[in-house]
Amino acid sequence: MNALEQLKRFTTVVADTGDFNTMRAYGPRDATTNPSLILKAVSKPEYRSLLTRTLAAHPGEDVAAVCDRLLVGFGAEILAIVPGRVSTEVDARLAFDVEATIAKARHLVALYEEAGFGRERVLVKVASTWEGIRAAEALENEGIHCNLTLLFSFPQAVACADAGVTLISPFVGRIYDWYRKHDGVDDYAPEEDPGVLSVRRIYTYYKKFGYPTEVMGASFRSVGQVLALAGCDLLTISPELLEQLSKDEREVERRLDPRQAREEAVERVRFDEKHFRYAVNEDAMATEKLAEGIRIFAADAVKLESLVAQAR
- Total Cβ atoms within 10 A of residue 151: 32
β-partners of residue 214 are 167
CA dist 5 and 169 (Å) reads 22
CA dist 290 and 302 (Å) reads 18
Say whether 88 sits in a helix, a strand or coil: strand
Could you give the C-alpha distances from 256 to 1, 9, 196, 226, 261, in angstroms and in order? 20, 13, 11, 12, 8
Catalytic residue among 8, 104, 125, 207: 125
CA dist 136 and 148 (Å) reads 8
For the chain, helix (H) and strand (E) counts, in that order, are 15, 8
What would you measure as the largest C-alpha separation in the chain, in angstroms?
Answer: 59
- Total Cβ atoms within 10 A of residue 175: 24
Concerning whether 125 is annotated as a catalytic residue, the answer is yes
Among candidate residues 235, 228, 168, the one with its CA nearest the CA of residue 194:
228
On the CB side of 166, CA atoms within 13 Å amount to 21
- Active-site residue list: 125
